[in-house]
């Protein structure tokens, strides 16, 4: 259990050799879920996007593909994730369409009201207080900006709840918990969707 626990705990903040192994698997392992989540962005036309908890950088790349006129800032508080995301999006970085940087969602240092769209894929499980972090996200979004959360867990599925007991600091949230925290943080028009066959959820809120 020791090695397994150490490995799966890398989902929180990838570090060292095990962290690199975890990040290398994130891009492919979560691709279908992330694409399902992104399919909900049907009326958003962003120019500036922030990808929070960017992991290996695959979703930042897909956002760049989905919105060819947009620029993406991807942040993660793991140095290993920042390195991998930088490698993955190297061409977009060279062209000036993408920036990858280390950052903490509980204390964002980005310019206020500067983004049209914020995304968070498979990451809010580890955020230190949803309302606190959601307030930080609201602060960097423009009025009318959109925040999309995509999770593999709906907060009730047995598999994820088992990992919650193994991984320190992990908390699986229900749609109701996420919606309540969003509204407390100043978001409105919160909408959600639950995958028909899986515990995947997408929650979209407007500032």
DSSP 128: S
Tokens of 28: 């492919």
Tokens of 160: 């994820």
Distance separating alpha carbons of residues 101 and 140, to the nearest angstrom: 15
pLDDT value at residue 16: 53
pLDDT value at residue 28: 60
Instruction: Tabulate helix, strand, coil % of the chain (nearest 5).
Output: 45, 25, 35
Q: Are residues 54 and 76 in contact, defined by beta-carbon separation less than 8 angstroms?
A: yes
pLDDT value at residue 79: 87
In which residue ranges of the chain is pLDDT below 70?
1-29
Q: Are residues 206 and 188 in contact, defined by beta-carbon separation less than 8 angstroms?
A: yes
pLDDT value at residue 95: 97
Instruction: Please name each of the domains of the chain with its CATH number.
Output: 2-206 (3.40.50.150)
Distance separating alpha carbons of residues 106 and 136, to the nearest angstrom: 6
């Amino acid at each position: 259990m020791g090695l397994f626990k150490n490995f799966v705990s890398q989902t929180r903040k990838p570090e060292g050799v095990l962290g690199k192994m975890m990040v290398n698997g994130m891009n492919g392992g979560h691709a279908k879920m992330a694409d399902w989540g992104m399919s909900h962005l049907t009326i958003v036309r962003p120019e500036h996007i922030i990808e929070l908890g960017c992991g290996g950088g695959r979703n930042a790349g897909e956002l760049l593909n989905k919105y060819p006129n947009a620029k993406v800032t991807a942040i993660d508080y793991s140095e290993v994730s920042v390195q991998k995301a930088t490698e993955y999006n190297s061409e977009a970085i060279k062209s000036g369409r993408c920036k990858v940087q280390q950052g903490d969602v509980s204390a964002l240092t980005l310019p206020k009201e500067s983004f049209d769209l914020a995304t968070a894929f498979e990451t809010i499980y580890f955020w230190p207080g949803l309302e606190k972090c959601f307030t930080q996200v609201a602060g960097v979004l423009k009025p009318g900006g959109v925040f999309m959360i995509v999770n593999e867990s709906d907060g009730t599925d047995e598999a994820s709840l088992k990992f919650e007991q193994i991984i320190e600091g992990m908390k699986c949230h229900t749609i109701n918990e996420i919606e309540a925290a969003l509204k407390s943080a100043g978001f409105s028009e919160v909408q959600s969707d639950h995958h028909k066959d899986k515990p995947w959820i997408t929650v979209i809120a407007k500032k």
